Amino acid sequence: MSDNTKTKNDNVLLEFIDVKKYFPIRQGVFAKTKGYIKAVDGISYDIRKGETFGLVGESGCGKSTTSKLVLLIEPITSGKILFDGKDISNLSQSERQAYRESVQPVFQDPTGSLDPRCRVSTIIAEPLQVRKNMTKEQIHARVLEVLEMAGLRSDHAELFPHQFSGGQRQRIAMARALSTEPKLIILDEPISSLDVSIRANMMNQLLDLQAKLGISYMLIAHDLAVILHMSTRVAVMYVGKIVETGDSKELYEHTAHPYTKALFAAAFHSANEGALILPGEVASPYNPPSGCHFHPRCPNAMPKCKEIEPLLKEISPGHKAACHLFK
């Protein structure tokens, strides 16, 4: 690892440095580029070892594209993502394989990610098959170990995904993610498809596993209550940008950005209780409003909000907001 890519803080596991992901929009017979969808537009943050970092925002804000960049499903357009100090866009083949083992996903809909023709043991063992130093017996033992960690039984190994409930299928996905002893798990809406009655149980089990194994989570959710329950720190995204970030407790007690305030109001109060209901839809990342992208929906908008884009600035230690209300 070269010194120029090593992070300064040893406690940092993943670092985003001014990361952008633009998708070109092509038109005509020659597929000429007529513009870009700026799905992720210059975000910087870090995820520390053993913490849960929550990314929250409405659909289309860029949070799922962010997870695809970390999972190497999409290449970044510019900026850098460092993992353990190493730039993930310049990995050799062997480093890429090691990285994939260190960073595992758990997606919203476990049904789509579990092959219905395979037994659970095969599904969980799949990420381990590339390991040349593991025997069949060792792989099977690891399958049983992670099944138990995820709250399932050893006899579940020989069943098929359709023989489980939604909550159990999400546990299978979790067991598969744990199989390679990852340092980071991307939890993309991990409980939103589950029955309300089992959501709290699943959240607490994820937190127990984290305390036991010291893994980091990048938690993506549109539900602020879930984010606050599980996360150490939070970033709020709007049209590809981070508009507010800080410790979850600080964000809850001293919410600064009007958009975050609206998300909190929607999550914790009904309209009858005076919750702020935002007018309009989330702006398009293809042609976002000028200045502050949030200005057409913001109850505090001022003339300069249409003209000047607010930068993300520290408003108290560790708490940043991108809004002209703060000097």
Please give the residue ranges that form the binding site for ligand SF4 (CB under 6 A).
257-258, 292, 294-295, 298, 300-302, 305, 310, 323-325
At closest approach, how far in Å is the CB of 258 from ligand SF4? 5
The Cα 37–Cα 24 span in angstroms is 6
User: Strands 32-48 and 184-188, how do they pair?
Assistant: unpaired
56 Cβ neighbours under 8 A, 6+ residues apart: 63, 220, 221, 222, 223, 224, 227, 234, 235, 236, 237, 263
Please identify which residue in the block is written with the tokens 């190497």. 72
Measure the N-to-C terminal CA separation of the chain; round to a whole number of Å.
40
Q: Which of residues 123 and 323 has its CB atom nearest to ligand SF4 in the complex? A: 323
At closest approach, how far in Å is the CB of 201 from ligand SF4? 37
Q: Which of residues 184 and 298 has its CB atom nearest to ligand SF4 in the complex? A: 298
Q: Which of residues 38 and 324 has its CB atom nearest to ligand SF4 in the complex? A: 324
Q: Which of residues 202 and 262 has its CB atom nearest to ligand SF4 in the complex? A: 262
At closest approach, how far in Å is the CB of 311 from ligand SF4? 10
At closest approach, how far in Å is the CB of 286 from ligand SF4? 20
Specify the DSSP class assigned to residue 14.
E
The Cα 82–Cα 289 span in angstroms is 31
User: Strands 313-316 and 319-321, how do they pair?
Assistant: antiparallel
At closest approach, how far in Å is the CB of 301 from ligand SF4? 4
Q: Which of residues 85 and 240 has its CB atom nearest to ligand SF4 in the complex? A: 240
At closest approach, how far in Å is the CB of 264 from ligand SF4? 14
268 Cβ neighbours under 8 A, 6+ residues apart: 224, 225, 275
Q: Which of residues 211 and 302 has its CB atom nearest to ligand SF4 in the complex? A: 302
